[in-house]
Each structure stands twice: as C-alpha cells, then as structure tokens.
Amino acid sequence: HSLLSKPRHTRRIGVANQKGGVGKTTSAVNLAAALADGGLHVLVIDMDPQGNASTALGIDHAPGLPSVYDVLEGRKELSDIKQPCPDFSGLDVVPSSIDLSGAELEIAGLPNRTTLLRSAMQRDDAINHDSYDYVIVDCPPSLGLLVINALCAVDEVLIPIQAEYYALEGLGQLLNSIDLIQRHYNPSLVVSTMLVTMFDRRTLLSKEVYQEIKKHYPALVLDTTIPRSVKISEAPSFQKTVIAYDPRGTGAVAYKEAALEISQRTEDVLGSIDMHREVN
Ligand code: ADP
Ligand code: MG
C-alpha cells in the first residue's frame, strides 16, 4: 500500500483506557507496525508490566532483562534498551518487564515521579531530533503513576473502545483523569482519537455502540473500525503483529486503514479539536 506522509514533528501518542482487554496493546502494536510498514520511523514504548506489546513485537521481556523499568529508575537511558522489531525496518521497541510492576511504589516518593518518562524522552537524541515520525506508548489498564508518566510524555491520547454493551461505562472517568493530567502536568495533552475495536458487523449492538460514541465525540472517532478477528488474537502467540502475521487479512487491512486515517489528521485538524467542548 502507499507510503504514508511524514508528520512535520514527531507525533507522540499514548494508548490508554483504564479498562483491560479493550484492545490497547493490540492497537498500539498494530498501528505502529502499519505506520512502519508504510515507510515511517516509529518507536513503541511498552509501559505495561505485562509486556504484551513487547511480546507482539517479537522482543524478549523476561524478568531481569533491561527494560523501561531501568529507565524510570534512572539506571539506563532509552537508547540503551531500545531494540529493533525483527519484522519491520524503522520500528524500534522499548520493552517492559514484570519488574515494572514494582515501579509505581518505588517512584511514588520522588518529587519528579510524574515526569520520569518525559525526562528520559527529552534526553533521547533520536526523539529530540524528530528522527521518529511516531512515538506510541502502550499503557497498562489503570490510572496510576505508570499511566500518568506515559500521559505526561505524549501530546495525544488514543482511546480504544471495545464495541460492547458497556463500552461507554468508565469513559467519563477516563476523560476526567486525562483532563486533570492536562491541567496539572501536561498542558499540551489532548484526546485526539477514539478507535472502536472488536467490531462485529453482523450485530446491531456493534453499530449502535459506534453510533453512540460518534454522537458524543464526533471529531474524535475514526471512521475505520477494527473487526473482531481470530487472526488478530492469534498473532501475539507467534510473537507477531497481525500486519506481519496475516498482512492481507481483514484485521491487518483495518489497522492499515486506521493508521492512514490517523496520519491524515494534520496538525491543523488536531489543533482545532477543542477537548473541553468535545469531552464535556
Ligand atoms: P488491552 O491491552 O486493552 O488489555 P488487548 O489488546 O491485550 O487489550 O486485547 C485483549 C484481548 O483481546 C487479547 O487477547 C487480544 O488478542 C484480543 N483482541 C484484541 N483486539 C481484537 C480483535 N479485533 N479481534 C479479536 N481479538 C482481539
Ligand atoms: Mg495491554
């Protein structure tokens, strides 16, 4: 498929939703792979102690291996632990590991506890010189310090929303938390994108959920929805994204379309999103 256009500056996107199992990691890794497959230079930072993004991108994350944990604790720089994804040139990964599950408590007393990731990114030459077109940060399912660190280090939030009956439950709380982070810590933060995942074309419920989200957040929701697909759920067990595992399947095609749609939202369009009007 065609090459995607490069953004003028690095776009930093956090993929967040405090609900588990809504497609955060799947969306983070597959959008990153689709962007890299389209010729762009992408960095994925795995901020979830589960390390599912690291797995899907083919990076070992056994306990004790160097990971983003060492960066948050000040022992290593991002450049020390960055690794290339074996399936796509131009896609680098900062893996997490289960060691990260202790980090929230360990950093809780530090005065700079919310900005550890942001500072590490500011010290990274490749990020500083706009060598990456996209930096995508996969968040754990919580609203704790790891997520706050992630959302202090990005400008945009992408919220995956599972097309199910309780889709909108918890969304208000998530948006309020993002709003608090924006006001207290990171004035440039906006919710730029909502992506409906596990969409089932055959059910009325999926369509109703999409319409409902579209009604509340018209400027944020992508036209592209991600279908429920067995290949998408199988791919991680082969340490692959669906973009590498089943490149012509419906799942890969949908993530490529979503990546294209995201890349076409220019800085002007993003600048015009008034988060407060859209969100409240
Ligand atoms: P989160 O990171 O929000 O916890 P995941 O991305 O890990 O969610 O997805 C939760 C589970 O659902 C995983 O087993 C994943 O493989 C599966 N999954 C995600 N998206 C899809 C999809 N579009 N079709 C089928 N299974 C999916
Ligand atoms: Mg996840």
d(CA 15, ligand 2 centre) in Å: 9
Would you say the CB of residue 233 lies under 6 angstroms from ligand 1?
A: yes
With beta carbons less than 8 A apart as the criterion, state whether 103 and 69 touch.
yes
Would you say the CB of residue 153 lies under 6 angstroms from ligand 1?
A: no
d(CA 41, ligand 1 centre) in Å: 24
Enter the DSSP assignment of 102: G
Residue 269: predicted pLDDT: 57
Neighbours of 94 (CB within 10 A): 28
Would you say the CB of residue 21 lies under 6 angstroms from ligand 1?
A: yes
Instruction: Give me the percent of the chain exceeding a pLDDT of 90.
Output: 89
Instruction: Kindly give the number of the ligand 1 atom that is closest to the alpha carbon of 17.
Output: 3
Q: Which ligand is nearest to the CA of 54?
A: 2
Residue 273: predicted pLDDT: 58
Scanning the structure block, which residue is given the tokens 């929701």?
221
Q: Can you tell me the distance from the alpha carbon of 5 to that of 233, in angstroms, rounded to the nearest whole number?
A: 29
Q: What is the CA radius of gyration of the chain?
A: 17
- Tally of helices (H runs) and strands (E runs) in the chain: 15, 7
Would you say the CB of residue 30 lies under 6 angstroms from ligand 1?
A: no
Using CA atoms, how far residue 121 sits from 79, 113, 220, in Å, is 10, 14, 26
Would you say the CB of residue 191 lies under 6 angstroms from ligand 1?
A: no
Instruction: Kindly give the number of the ligand 1 atom that is closest to the alpha carbon of 235.
Output: 16
Using CA atoms, how far residue 93 sits from 32, 73, 88, 104, in Å, is 10, 18, 11, 21
Whether ipTM > 0.90 holds is: yes
pTM given for the model? 0.95
3-state class (DSSP) for residue 110: coil
* Closest CA relative to residue 227, chosen from 27, 35, 25, 16: 27
What's the length of the chain?
A: 280
Task: Look at ligand 1, atom 5, and give the residue with the nearest C-alpha.
Answer: 23
With beta carbons less than 8 A apart as the criterion, state whether 137 and 13 touch.
yes
Enter the DSSP assignment of 227: B
Residues 6+ apart with CB under 8 A from 265: 192, 193
> In this structure, what token pair is assigned to residue 44?
């994925």
Task: Look at ligand 1, atom 16, and give the residue with the nearest C-alpha.
Answer: 233
Which of the residues in the chain have pLDDT under 50?
1, 275-277, 279-280
Paired sense of beta strands 91-94 and 83-84, if any: antiparallel
Neighbours of 64 (CB within 10 A): 9
DSSP 40-52: --EEEEE--TT-H
